[in-house]
Amino acid sequence: MKNPVIRFVILFVAIYGSWYLLYELYLAQNTPIDRILIQWVGKSSTEVLTWFGFEASYQALPHTVSLNSISCVSVGAPCNGLALFALFTSFILATPVSIKPKLLFIPLGIVVIFLLNVIRISVLALNVKYYPESVDFNHHYLFTFIVYGVTFWIWMIWVNKFMIPSLKKEQA
């Protein structure tokens, strides 16, 4: 296919669509992926809070981050970052760049998104404890904007550092 934009869109939809169907039809019911990620996010968020001097704990069931023994944040499958990891990975895989930089950039991007999510859950726990009136807005809008904004920024690094040079090289 000659048009790189159309090629990208078709590949992206095919990769992400395949992941989505595989996840929804099989993985969500038959593997511990979500549970493991939820635990990593919950435990990591608790560690971050503890590093900053808060009395934090994580309860595996019902996957809750607590401050001073008060449940603050329940971490569920939508909060574990898996869907964003798949979206990020699909974007990178769909670009017309050789596989070697993809194999390095995808894990690095996922780590950044994971760490950002841990910070998000940690701050949300503090938000629930100290400023509960703003939790709904922060959870649904502000934190979502920040996480997707950073993900978009990582994509732009990818586009500028790898994709554009690859397209220029291809056209030369």
Angle, alpha carbons 43-36-149 (nearest 5°): 75
Q: What is the pLDDT of residue 74?
A: 92
Which H helix or E strand runs over 56? strand 56-59
> Mean pLDDT of successive 10-residue segments in the chain (172 residues)?
84 94 81 88 97 95 91 89 94 93 96 96 96 94 94 94 82 68
Q: What is the pLDDT of residue 172?
A: 63
73: exposed, middle or buried (C-beta count within 10 Å: 0-12, 13-18, 19+)? buried
Tokens of 91: 């974007």
Q: Is 28 in contact with 21 (CB distance < 8 Å)?
A: no
Q: What is the pLDDT of residue 163?
A: 86
> Model's pTM, two decimal places?
0.90
Cα–Cα dist 125/45, whole Å: 9
Q: Is 74 helix (H, G, I), strand (E, B) or coil?
A: strand
Q: How far is CA 76 from CA 8, 82, 90, 112, 160, in A?
A: 32, 11, 23, 20, 34
Residue position matching structure tokens 């939790």: 135
Residue type, 33: I
